Structure 1
Amino acid sequence: MPTYTALTTLADKDAAEAMGEAMEMMTPEPTGVGVFEIEDGSGLWEVGGYFVEAPDSADLALLAAAYDAAPFAVSELPETDWVAKVRRDLAPVVAGRFFVYGSHDADKVPADSIPLLIEAAMAFGTGHHGTTLGCLRALDRLATAGFVGSNVADIGCGTAVLAMAAAKIWPNPVLASDIDMVAVDVAVANVACNALEGRVTCVEAAGFDHPVLSGAAPFDLVFANILKGPLIMLSPDMAKAIVPGGYAILSGILNEQADEVAGVYARNGFNVVHREEIVDWTTLTLGKL
Structure 2
Amino acid sequence: MTSWKLSLPCTRAEAEAIDAAEDVAEGVVLMTTEIEEDDREHWRLDAYLEAEPSPETIAAICALVPSAAATAPVIERLADEDWVTLSQQGLEPIAEGRFVVHTSAHPVAPPPGGRAFLIEAGQAFGTGHHATTSGCLAMLDGMADQSFGTIIDVGTGTGLLAFAARHLWPEAEIIATDIDPRAIVVTRENAELNAIPAIDLIVADGALDDSITARAPYDLLIANILAGPLVSMAPEIAAIAAPRATIVLAGLLETQRGDVVAAFGECGCTLDAVDRRGDWSILRLTAGAVRYVPTKPIDPKGRDGWALDL
TM-score relative to the length of structure 2: 0.68
Larger radius of gyration: 1
- Residue 173 of structure 2 corresponds to 173
Whether the aligned pair in 2 keeps the contact of 1:4 and 1:55 (CA below 8 Å) is no
- Residue 134 of structure 1 corresponds to 135
- Residue 153 of structure 1 corresponds to 152
- Give the letter aligned to residue 196 of structure 1: I
- Give the letter aligned to residue 191 of structure 2: V
Whether the aligned pair in 1 keeps the contact of 2:246 and 2:284 (CA below 8 Å) is yes
- Residue 114 of structure 2 corresponds to 113
CA distance in 1, matches of 2:5, 2:117: 34
Deviation at 1:242, TM superposition (A): 0.4
Between 1:164-173 and 1:77-86, the stretch displaced more is 77-86
Assess, with a 3 A threshold, how the Cα gap between structure 1 residues 111 and 267 changes in structure 2: closer, same or farther: same
Assess, with a 3 A threshold, how the Cα gap between structure 1 residues 238 and 160 changes in structure 2: closer, same or farther: same
Structure with more helix by fraction: 1
Between 1:84-93 and 1:134-143, the stretch displaced more is 84-93
Give the number of the structure with larger relative contact order, counting CA–CA contacts within 8 Å between residues 6 or more apart: 2
TM-score relative to the length of structure 1: 0.73
Assess, with a 3 A threshold, how the Cα gap between structure 1 residues 123 and 104 changes in structure 2: closer, same or farther: farther
CA distance in 2, matches of 1:31, 1:240: 35
Deviation at 1:276, TM superposition (A): 1.0
- Residue 100 of structure 2 corresponds to 99
CA distance in 1, matches of 2:128, 2:97: 12
Deviation at 1:264, TM superposition (A): 1.2
Whether the aligned pair in 1 keeps the contact of 2:174 and 2:200 (CA below 8 Å) is yes
- Residue 262 of structure 1 corresponds to 261
- Residue 227 of structure 1 corresponds to 226
CA distance in 2, matches of 1:54, 1:83: 16
Whether the aligned pair in 2 keeps the contact of 1:86 and 1:123 (CA below 8 Å) is no
- Residue 39 of structure 1 corresponds to none
Assess, with a 3 A threshold, how the Cα gap between structure 1 residues 262 and 83 changes in structure 2: closer, same or farther: same
Whether the aligned pair in 2 keeps the contact of 1:125 and 1:132 (CA below 8 Å) is yes
**1:192-237 Cα distance to aligned partner (Å, 9 max, x none):** 112124x111111111133321111110111100001110111001
- Alignment RMSD (CA, Å): 3.2
Assess, with a 3 A threshold, how the Cα gap between structure 1 residues 128 and 270 changes in structure 2: closer, same or farther: same
CA distance in 1, matches of 2:53, 2:86: 24
Structure 1 unaligned blocks of 5 or more: 6-29, 34-49, 61-69
- Give the letter aligned to residue 162 of structure 2: A
Whether the aligned pair in 1 keeps the contact of 2:124 and 2:183 (CA below 8 Å) is no
1:1-289, aligned counterparts within 5 Å? 1=2, 3=4, 52-53=51-52, 55=54, 76-79=75-78, 81-120=82-121, 122=123, 124-143=125-144, 146-170=145-169, 171-197=171-197, 199-289=198-288
CA distance in 2, matches of 1:51, 1:159: 21
Deviation at 1:137, TM superposition (A): 1.0
- Give the letter aligned to residue 179 of structure 2: I
Deviation at 1:189, TM superposition (A): 0.5
Whether the aligned pair in 2 keeps the contact of 1:4 and 1:52 (CA below 8 Å) is no
- Give the letter aligned to residue 181 of structure 1: P
Assess, with a 3 A threshold, how the Cα gap between structure 1 residues 2 and 190 changes in structure 2: closer, same or farther: closer
SS at structure 2 position matched to 1:89: coil
Whether the aligned pair in 1 keeps the contact of 2:177 and 2:201 (CA below 8 Å) is yes
